Amino acid sequence: MTAMTIATAASCLRECIEADIPAFLWGAPGIGKSQAIDQVAASLNMPMIDWRANLHDPVDVRGLPVADIKCGVTKWLCPAELPVNGRHGPRGILKMDELNTASPAMMAVCFQIVLERRAGEHKLDNGWVPVAACLIGPPSSGCRRL
C-alpha cells in the first residue's frame, strides 16, 4: 500500500469520478478525506449525496415492502436518499462516509454499492459514482482496518 497526500488523493479521486470509476479513500482521522470528496464534487459541479453508513441499517437500504397483489409478490420501495430512478439528476457522487464504523452487515451493503453499483434490487443510476471513505488508525484508537 502506497501512502499519498490528501491533495494527491483528491486529484486521483477527481480522475476516478471523471472516468466513472468508484473510489475508496481511507486514512487517519482528521486528514480531510470527507472534505476532499466535497471539494472534488464542487469543482466538478456535481451534486453529492452525503450518506453516512453508520447511521443506517441494511433494511433501510432495501426500503419498505409493498404488496403487488396483481403479481402476488412483495416489492421494495427504494429509500429517497439513494440516487435511483432519476430522482437526483443524471449524474453525481454518492459519498458513503464513516464506513468502518457501520455494522458488518451495513458494510456489506455499502461494498455492494461500490463494487456492483446496486443495493439489493435497487440499481444506482448511470452517471452516479459511489465513493466510500473510512478511517484507519492505530489499534488503540478503536478503529479497525477493513
Domain residue spans in the chain?
6-141
pLDDT at 137: 55
- pLDDT value at position 144? 44
* Burial class of residue 131 in the structure, from the number of CB atoms within 10 Å of its CB (0-12 exposed, 13-18 middle, 19+ buried): buried
- The model's pLDDT over 118-141, given as tens digits with 9 standing for 90+, comes to 887 888 888 999 999 988 754 444
Residue 132 pLDDT = 92
Class of domain 6-141: alpha beta
- Model pLDDT, residue 122: 85
Return the SS3 of 118.
strand
CA atoms within 13 Å, Cβ hemisphere of 138: 1
Residue spans of the chain under pLDDT 50: 138-146
Report pLDDT for 96: 92
Q: How far apart are CA 127 and CA 96, in angstroms?
A: 16
What are the φ and ψ backbone dihedral angles of 100, each rounded to 5 degrees? -75, -10
Count Cβ neighbours within 10 Å for each residue of 90-129 and write b for 16 or more, e otherwise.
Answer: ebbbbbbbbbbbbeeebbebbbbbbeebebeebbbbeebb
The reported pLDDT for the residue numbered 1 is 59
CA 57 to chain centre: 14
Distance CA 129, CA 90 (A): 11
Q: β-pairing, 73-77 with 64-68?
A: antiparallel
Q: Which residue has the cell 455499502?
A: 110
d(CA 27, CA 13): 14
